[in-house]
Structure 1
């Protein structure tokens, strides 16, 4: 079994070169890539709807890895990981917790983007002893505004064809934001070898059901948010069309120890449009 000692021995690699490994989690192989600093509390990256390890921006991951251990992984059934993806957030969260334990960690930082942020909130609230600090990007709480309107968001994203979906979903319609989106797509292609597998239609369908259910649920008095006592860094763009930007402010109002960063002229993928600044915010947040 992989351990935190032999994982961190690979710190000389970066996002573009780190080999993909696998670890057995309850008898199912999960794929992951770990790189960065040898010592310290690792940052576990929790990915967005449909995304795999290759959908993380190397500008972000490498900058964070310069100061912290970084772990990218595919949750159950996602990308090259085996098994069947659950159709609800609590089960996805438990799979992520089991993966973290399988690597030998008992304390981690969580960086959750979009769907990954739903999962991160659940873990922080229900497994508080595991989470040191929390970064929530382009995400929202249970029953958040427009989260359940996933199908409508996707229909609009495909209007310019499949090659423009991420730009339409993650970036604003301004020339500057679109230019940043095109640069982002270029960075995603920098890893030349050992590329990840796309998620199956079954996985995408189950993730969609989990997101819609999460958006339709209610959490009276924001009980889950108010139970998150770990320090939280919340970030988003000013025009998030996937998870309305107001959701970030609602999380700020209800998480007891939180900071909010909003970037102008940006959307759901503001953490990639402003990758260097986002990584700097994360590194300062984790080090202080």
Structure 2
């Protein structure tokens, strides 16, 4: 009988769960016991945009859960235009699977959703991994600038441009990352549509322009948090992750060298090692 432990990133079947009348696509693999590790994805990303080195690596000690937000990939519905609604959907998805307590790993837009999930539902998460993000009220102009330069680029070139630094070594690692994304050859997600792009763009800009001058609400997040960022992120500048680390009362910070927004993929093995250690630490 197949169980999550018999699957990997490449072989886990796509399943569906009803979330308020909308079918949400998800995949789960790794250890059957222990807290689930919920992955919250980046701007326009589907389940197939997670790096198998990261997901399979963390599945060695955790039950990995990947899913597509409403309107994204193989999930039904329309993509929301606010982080608040995406957060409600993520919470309802987690509860629809019967999970009462989880660990969260949020990257980029998923980082914002992870922050909001813990603020809205303080008892949901045990620990947080916050990669490539920023506090509310930060980063709108940088995000608008980098995304304004996507016209005419191929999907591969967009990933290399957005996620990897403009150095030969970082771009080489980016090429390897793009190749790894093709390891899953069957039962793949439907690529994101223009509706997903426009809705998530609006959600990110709204999050980044939300007036939150004192950042006081971050003090409400009591869970241990691991903040991860590249040393030169051009989408959400590195200083914003440092600010996030400074304002969270129980946070660690890891900055990776020669890397940009996708530092967790460029330094995938190091990221898995650090996250595994962090998640297995005593509370």
Using structure 2 for the length normalisation, give the TM-score.
0.96
Query: Is this contact kept in 1: 2:4–2:31, CA < 8 A?
Result: no
Q: CA deviation at 1:220?
A: 3.5
Counterpart for residue 12 of structure 1 = 6
Shift, 1:73, TM fit: 0.2
Task: Say if 2:46 and 2:192, in contact at 8 Å, map to a contact too.
Answer: yes
Aligned counterpart in structure 2 of residue 170 of structure 1, from 154, 163, 171: 163
In structure 1, distance between residues paired with 2:108 and 2:65: 17
Q: Does 1:33 align with 2:27?
A: yes
Secondary structure, aligned partner of 1:129: coil
What are the Cα deviations for residues 1-29 of structure 1, in whole angstroms up to 9, with x where unaligned? Answer: xxxxx9x9221110011110000011110
Q: Judge conservation of contact 1:76–1:95 (CA < 8 Å) in 2.
A: yes
- Per the alignment, residue 107 of structure 1 pairs with 101
SS in 1 for 2:149: helix
Task: Structure 1: give runs of 5+ residues left out of the alignment.
Answer: 1-5
Any conservation in 2 of the 1:28–1:82 contact (CA below 8 Å)?
yes
TM-score, normalising length from structure 1? Answer: 0.95
Where does residue 257 of structure 2 map in the other structure? 264
Distance 1:55 1:162, change over 3 A: closer
Structure 2 counterpart of 1:247: 240
Matched, 1:278 2:271: yes
State the shift of 1:160 in Å.
5.0
**Structure 2 regions of 5+ residues with no counterpart?**
none
Q: CA 1:201 to 1:159, structure 2 compared with 1: closer, same or farther past 3 Å? A: closer
> 1:150: Cα distance to partner?
2.8
Counterparts of 1:199 and 1:159 in 2: how far apart (Å)? 17
Q: How far does residue 226 in structure 1 lie from its aligned partner after superposition?
A: 1.2
Instruction: Tell me by how many angstroms 1:203 deviates.
Output: 1.7
Q: Is the 8 A contact 1:148 1:213 kept in 2?
A: no
Among 111, 122, 125, which residue is 1:128 paired with? 122
Matches within 5 A, 1:100-249: 100-144=94-138, 146-158=139-151, 161-249=154-242
Structure 2 contact 156–178 (Cα < 8 Å) conserved: no
Residues 230 and 262, structure 2, Cα contact 8 Å, conserved in 1: yes
Contact 2:4 2:63 in 1 (8 A): no
| Superposition misfits of 4+ residues, deviation over 6 angstroms | none
Offset at 1:132?
Answer: 0.7
- Does 2:62 align with 1:68? yes
Shift of 1:158: 4.5
- Contact (CA 8 Å) 1:147, 1:244: kept in 2 or not? no
Provide the aligned C-alpha RMSD in A.
1.4
| Aligned with 2:44 (options 16, 39, 50) | 50
